[in-house]
Structure 1
Amino acid sequence: MIIKNIKFNIPAKIITGYLTILICLGISLLIVNDRMTDLQKEADLLSSHDIQVHDLVNQLQKNVLDMETGMRGYVITGDNQYLDPYEDGSRSWLINYNKLHSLLMHNTNQKHNLEEIKPLIQSWIKNSGEYVIEAKKANDTAALNRHFKENTGKKLTDQLNTQFDSFLNEEKQLTAQRIDKLNQNNINLKITFYTIIILVSIITLVTAFSLGNSIVKTIRQVVRTIQSITESKVDLSTRIKVKTRDETRDLADAMNNLLSSLEKQSWIQKSMTEISTMYQGITDITVLAQTFITKLAPLLDAVYGVVYLRKADGQGVHFVKTAGYAIKDQDVASSFRLGEGMVGQCALDQRIFLIDTLPEDHIKLTSGLGASSPTHLLVAPIVVDGKVEAVVEFAALQPFQTQHLTLLDLLQDKFGSSITSVLGRMEVERLLSESQVMTEELQAQSEELQAQSEELQMQQEQLQISNDFLEEQNHHAEQRAAELKKAKDELVEYSLKLEQSSQYKSDFLANMSHELRTPLNSILILSQMLIENNQEMDNAEVEEYSRVVYTAGEDLLRLIDDILDLSKIEAGKIEILTDEVNVTELPQLLKNMFDPVAAKKNVKFEVVTHPDVPPVISTDGQRLQQILKNLLSNAFKFTEQGSVTVRMELAPPDFAEKLEVEGPVMAISVTDTGIGIPAEKQQIIFDAFQQVDGTTNRQYGGTGLGLSICREFTRLLGGLIKLESEPQKGSTFTIYIPSRLESEVQQEEQGLKEAAAGINEVAATQIPFEKKSPSSEHLFKGKKVLLVDDDARNVFALVTALERKGMLVQIAENGQQALDILRDNTDFDLIFMDIMMPVMGGYEAMKAIRHDLKMVHLPIIALTAKAMKGERSKCMEAGASDYIMKPLNIDQLFSLMRVWLTEQVNQS
Structure 2
Amino acid sequence: MNIKGKVWLGTAVSILVIGGLTAMACIFLDGVFLALSLILGLIGLATGVYLITGIHRGINKGMHRVSQIVGDIAQGTVNPSDRSAEAGDEFGQLAQSFRSLAVDLYTKTEEERILRLEAEEQAWINVHVTEMAILLQGSVQIATASRIFIGKLASCVQAAYGALYVQKDGLLQFAAGYAYDDTAAERRQPIALGSGLVGQSALDKKTILLHDLPDGYVKVHSALGDTKPAALIIVPVCYEDEVVAVIELASLRDFTPKERQLIDLTTANMGILLNTLADVVRIGELLKETQLQKEELEAQTEELQSQTEELQAQTEELQMQAEELESQTEELQAQTEELQMQADSLHTSNERLQEEMKLTELQKEEIKQQADELKAQAEELFESNKQLQEQMELTELQKTEISEQADELKEQAEELLASNENLKQQVELTERQKIEIKEQADEIFMAAQYKSEFLANVSHELRTPLNSLLILSQILAENKEGNLHSRQLEYIHTIFSAGKDLLTLIDEILDLAKLEVGKMTAVVEPTYLKDVSSHLYRHFEQQAKEKNIHFDIHSDRRLPESILTDGHRLQQILNNLLSNALKFTEKGAVTLSIHGASAPTGREGQAAAEEIVFSVTDTGIGIPASKLESIFEAFQQADGTTSRKYGGTGLGLTICRELAALLGGRIEVSSAEGEGSTFSLHLPAAQPGTAVSQAAAASDTMSAASEQAKRGKSSFQESFVPDISISNPKLLQLAEMEDDRDNLQPGDTLLLIIEEDAEFASTLLNLARQRNFKAIVASQGDQGLALAHAYKPDAILLDIQLPVLDGWSIISRLKGRPELRHIPIHVISTAEENQQGLAMGALAFWKKPNDVHELEAAFLQIESYIRRRTKSLLIVEDNPVLRSSVVAFIAHPDVNIVAVATGREALEQLASHHFDCMVLDLGLSDISGFDLLEQVKTNRKLQTLPVIIFTGKELSKQDEQRLHHYAESIVIKNVRSMERLYDETALYLHRKHADLPADKQELIEKLHNPEAAFQDKNILLVDDDMRNIFALSSVLEGYNMNIQFAQNGKEALIILRNHPEVDLVFMDIMMPEMDGYETMREIRKMPEFEKLVIIALTARAMDEDRVKCLQAGASDYISKPINTTQLVSMLKTWLIT
Normalising by structure 2, what TM-score?
Answer: 0.30
Normalising by structure 1, what TM-score?
Answer: 0.36
